[in-house]
């Protein structure tokens, strides 16, 4: 006869586990036990939302840093529990399973973490589904990480024209077809014109997108895109014109801002982006650029459990 053992697992309804505001997280909790007299007090599924940020404090004259984890979201669904103080026993060993569902809030921060190049794990926001089986003394748990994306108000976008000129009369004109707006997983498209009446030497034209992730006072600024636009390579012509396409990763978190007010349980969280076009030239103090805020939204197309695709009007959720 073997040693009694038990294993608890939680299975989510989708893979990858990407969820949107007001959606239901559904799944199955499975328990495998070879103990015919296995007992339990409570079986539950918990949704946790946590934010990590660094704080600075002093001990005397010494400066110290500490990473703080703040739980701003907790939801619990009890699947089964014993009555009063009695233990509940399964009548046979083998596998037992329970279905569960937990509704996600609408306006909570998106999941994000810091790229490995920063050699740190904060600031960050994470969500997890935890199945927990509480026994007399010990608890058996299993955890699955989920990726949350809040709904973003999708409004019709119109093209925007951005212009700048340097002290050598080199003129840059950028036309963004969808304005200062993009959907994660899509492409930023536009045209760019350069007027160079004095035939100055232009090295290149760069485009970069800068991401800022912040929890309270802890923030990281990351250049997530840095490309050279293929319209100029070391030229002195008086006119350049061309189109560009800049792919945007589908995995970046959307623009989000939450300012804590009195009575709110969550910390202030900010996810923001800027887009920058820069003309790099030979000489001193002649480089010039255009920098504007960029709104990143989520893809409104989501996959249903049966593999079909459903379009959700997320403007009704905001």
For residue 83, the model assigns a pLDDT of 58
Q: How confident is the model at residue 315 (pLDDT cuts 50, 70, 90)?
A: very low
Domain with 53 in it: what CATH number?
A: 2.60.40.640
Same domain, 83 and 212: no
Over the stretch 174-214, which tens digit does the pLDDT of each residue have? 999 989 988 888 899 999 999 999 999 999 999 999 999 99
Same domain, 133 and 45: yes
Residue 166 included in any domain: yes
Over the stretch 49-89, which tens digit does the pLDDT of each residue have? 999 888 877 787 777 778 888 898 999 999 887 655 544 44
Phi, psi dihedrals of residue 200, rounded to the nearest 5°? -75, 155
Q: How confident is the model at residue 97 (pLDDT cuts 50, 70, 90)?
A: confident
Same domain, 141 and 236: no
Same domain, 115 and 194: no
Same domain, 24 and 137: yes
CB-based contacts of 57: which residues, under 8 Å, 6+ apart? 63, 64, 65, 66
Over the stretch 245-297, which tens digit does the pLDDT of each residue have? 999 988 889 999 876 544 455 668 899 999 999 999 998 888 999 999 999 98
Same domain, 58 and 89: yes
Report, as an integer, the average pLDDT of 99-122: 79
Same domain, 174 and 91: no
Q: Does 309 score more than 70 pLDDT?
A: no
Same domain, 169 and 283: yes
Q: Higher confidence at residue 244 or residue 302?
A: 244
Q: Percent of the chain having pLDDT more than 90? A: 45
Cα–Cα distance list, 10 to 43, 99, 125 (Å): 12, 10, 21
Q: How confident is the model at residue 224 (pLDDT cuts 50, 70, 90)?
A: very high
**pTM to 2 decimals?**
0.80
For residue 299, the model assigns a pLDDT of 65
Same domain, 78 and 144: yes
Task: Please give the mean pLDDT across all residues of the chain.
Answer: 81
Domain that holds residue 226: 160-299
For residue 88, the model assigns a pLDDT of 46
Residue identified by tokens 């014993």 is: 82
For residue 62, the model assigns a pLDDT of 79
Q: Does 137 score more than 50 pLDDT?
A: yes
Q: Does 12 score more than 90 pLDDT?
A: yes
Residue 175 included in any domain: yes
Q: Does 218 score more than 60 pLDDT?
A: yes
Cα–Cα distance list, 37 to 33, 44, 78, 87 (Å): 10, 20, 22, 10
Q: Domain count of the chain? A: 2
- Among 8, 47, 13, residue whose Cα is nearest residue 29: 8
For residue 118, the model assigns a pLDDT of 54
- Cβ-contact 209, 186 below 8 angstroms: no
């Amino acid at each position: 006869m073997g040693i009694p053992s038990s294993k608890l697992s939680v299975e989510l309804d989708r893979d990858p586990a990407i969820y949107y505001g007001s959606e239901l997280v559904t799944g199955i909790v499975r328990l495998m036990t070879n103990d015919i007299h296995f007992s339990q007090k409570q079986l539950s599924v918990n949704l946790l939302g946590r934010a990590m940020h660094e704080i600075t404090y002093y001990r005397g004259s010494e400066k110290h840093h500490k990473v703080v984890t703040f739980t701003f979201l907790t939801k619990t669904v009890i699947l089964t529990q014993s009555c009063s103080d009695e233990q509940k026993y399964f009548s046979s060993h083998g596998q037992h399973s329970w279905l569960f569902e937990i509704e996600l809030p609408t306006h909570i921060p998106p999941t994000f973490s810091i790229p490995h190049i920063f050699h740190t794990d904060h600031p960050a926001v994470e969500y997890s589904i935890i199945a927990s089986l509480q026994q007399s003394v010990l608890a058996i748990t299993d955890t699955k990480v989920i990726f949350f994306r809040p709904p973003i108000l999708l409004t019709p976008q119109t093209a925007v024209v951005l212009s700048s000129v340097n002290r050598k009369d080199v003129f840059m004109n950028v036309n963004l077809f969808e304005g200062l707006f993009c959907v994660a997983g899509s492409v930023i498209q536009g045209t760019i014109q350069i007027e160079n009446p004095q035939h100055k030497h232009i090295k290149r034209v760069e485009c970069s997108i800068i991401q800022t992730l912040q929890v309270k006072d802890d923030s990281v600024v990351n250049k997530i895109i840095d490309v050279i636009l293929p319209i100029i390579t070391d030229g002195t012509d008086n006119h350049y014109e061309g189109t560009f396409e800049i792919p945007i990763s589908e995995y970046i978190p959307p623009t989000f801002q939450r300012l804590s007010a009195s009575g709110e349980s969550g910390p202030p969280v900010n996810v923001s982006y800027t887009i920058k076009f820069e003309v790099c030239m030979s000489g001193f103090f002649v480089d010039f650029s255009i920098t504007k805020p960029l709104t990143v939204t989520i893809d409104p197309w989501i996959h249903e459990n049966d593999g079909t695709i459903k379009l959700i009007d997320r403007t009704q959720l905001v």
